[in-house]
Structure 1
Amino acid sequence: MFSDAVLEGVSVESVWRKSQEGHRESRSCQTNPLKTKDACNQTCGIREMGTQTEKNVNQRTLDVDLGPLLDYPDLGQFLKRVEGVVIKELEKNLKSHAFDGFDVNWEEQNELVTCLHSLQYPEALELQLQVTSVSWNSTGSVVACSYGRLGDGDWSTEKSYVCTWNLDRRGFLPNHPDTVIDVQSSVMCLAFHPLQPSLIAGGLYNGEVLLWDTSRTDDPLIGRTGLTADTHTDAVYQVILLPAEEKIILVYYWVMFILSILHISQ
């Protein structure tokens, strides 16, 4: 009974609009002239005031005279160049409220927390070495720990280990680390690079800082500070790796620490 059909468009011309085209008129209006006036004001005098806070006698500061040390042109230029960046980061930390309102609860136990893995390195257990540091890499799947001595023993010469486990790896075994690095001095701290998951730094009891690349199977050690008569020889208890644009801050902190040690030793 019915079928589809396509028809051409139909337009209807307005007879009223056509009849009104001959009755158009133009009108205009002019406002009265506007009156304007310019005025200005000049102060008669200027007065400056200032105040000085009293020195807090209870505040402890490190009295380090950097005058003789700044005689080295390169060091002085470096400190001036990074001063703005360091001050900016310090002010950012001072204004941070990330942990406001959080209190540590040491008494309440969360029964929902369960132990997923118990990682062990048999050779370290045989030597009765202790875990001195733990660090996760940026992927969240690899954990590294260092074995050393926190109690008695010759920390500077006793062998220690750095081990890594990939928890997402097929065939993962808690008692068999994926990477085992032998270190000739006790490793006191570890830190993975925040952006490069294979780079890990370690601080030793003898004062050295080592850098390993776990992607290299033959020799993962790619850098070390070394030991000389003028280098830092106290134990390193914390290391941190920063992205490339922030390395200058780490170097600045390291230089200031060395300068303070030199001053105190004198």
Structure 2
Amino acid sequence: MFNTKSFDVVSFNSELSTTKLETSANVQTTEIVHTADDTQTTDTRSIGIQTIHEQKTDMQVDYDKLAEFLKRVTPGVMEVLDEAYGSNAFDDYDPNVTEASSANVEILKKISALKESDTQIKVSDLSWSTVGGTLAVGLSHIYHEAWCDHLSTIQLYNLTIEDNLTDAPTKTLETNGCITTLCYHPTEPSILAAGLSNWDVLVWNLRNDDSITPTHVCTHSDCVSQVYWRPRSVNDVTLLLSSSRDGYILIHKLTANFTTAQLHKRFKIVKERNPVENARPRSAGGTRERAAEAGLCITSFDFSPGHPSIFVVGTLCGGIYKCSLDSVTPIEGDATLIDPVIDEYERHGGSVTCIKCSPLRNLFVTSTTDKEIRIYNLDEHVSQQTISVDNTVVGLTWMIGNQDIFAAYGADAYIKFYNVTDAKPMTCAKFEITGKQSISSLRVNSKRDMLAVGDVGANVEIWKFPRHLF
């Protein structure tokens, strides 16, 4: 199958070519030509300027006509200036266009309103004047075993041009009861309202420095929980609303330069709307005496910016009610007493401590003693979002710059911020006050980009808070 064969060797010679193809070429740039031109102005002109000395003549002024003119135009000028106090046209204006603004939150001032003899005093409420130049600090005793007969004060501090708060109050208003709530008028910078623990509602006109006597507006039958100025509309007078733990909301008209108060309306959240009270007999003396009894204990209320006549009320038993100033539903037994409730929202499990309506959206935010913050749509009964917190929140306030951000404060030294659109916390601006005390009040000064924080140790801290922080 296999055979063996031999073959002759076949060979060939290798050949390496060492000759390479070479070519040569010359490259030369073109000749560069230089030229020079002389330029010289040929026309010159000289001008001389000389001032001429004139003899000044004495001006003749008719001071009687000048006084008559000033008297005629002053009321109109003052009215325009007063309207400009409430303008927000220059809120975002920054005159420093060459340097970047600082975005740091820093403390500017810390003062103590505590006297050596007073050890149980707290800051009960704060209020900035509408132009942002004055801070009102209301003081109160921490504990009340019975009727409040304490002598208390409202201390007024002024801000300088350099945003420094005066060390001592420029004026002190004395009251015969502890301060529970303060509110400066939204357009009149010299008008201040206060509610007291002894049930009184007072109004001061601070335009005249010599007069510190307040106007007595009304007396509730329990501690005043809130006072609120409703901005005046066209052809209308100023309205002051006051709520109390007696269940009543009283509305007064202020006239004669805020020296005369006239009762306009009386509202009451009737007890029958409280599920806990449904089983109670209507009245021991008959059905028509029920209206004389106290209503639901009102702790907080706020108006909707988008609906000037609509406001939301929170109560001690956790109820949240949508109310209207235009309601005409009388309560049985008293034609002058009106139930303002037009709708009801999902109840809280604890007492409502604060209600704030969004300045931009159809929303409002509530805080309660059950350590919850809820976000409601004004037209829906059930809350949209619920935020659980570690400590009880006693107050809420909307921030400057981004008005979707609100601050929550209360039973600790921390101030926390949340976005109302998604209920998420804003970690970039969480900060702690230096006093380490529980915070009792916080107010924003939108004119000066500041926060004023008061605590239960009668300390007040002023913080610089840039509006572009969020």
- TM-score, normalised by the number of residues in structure 1: 0.48
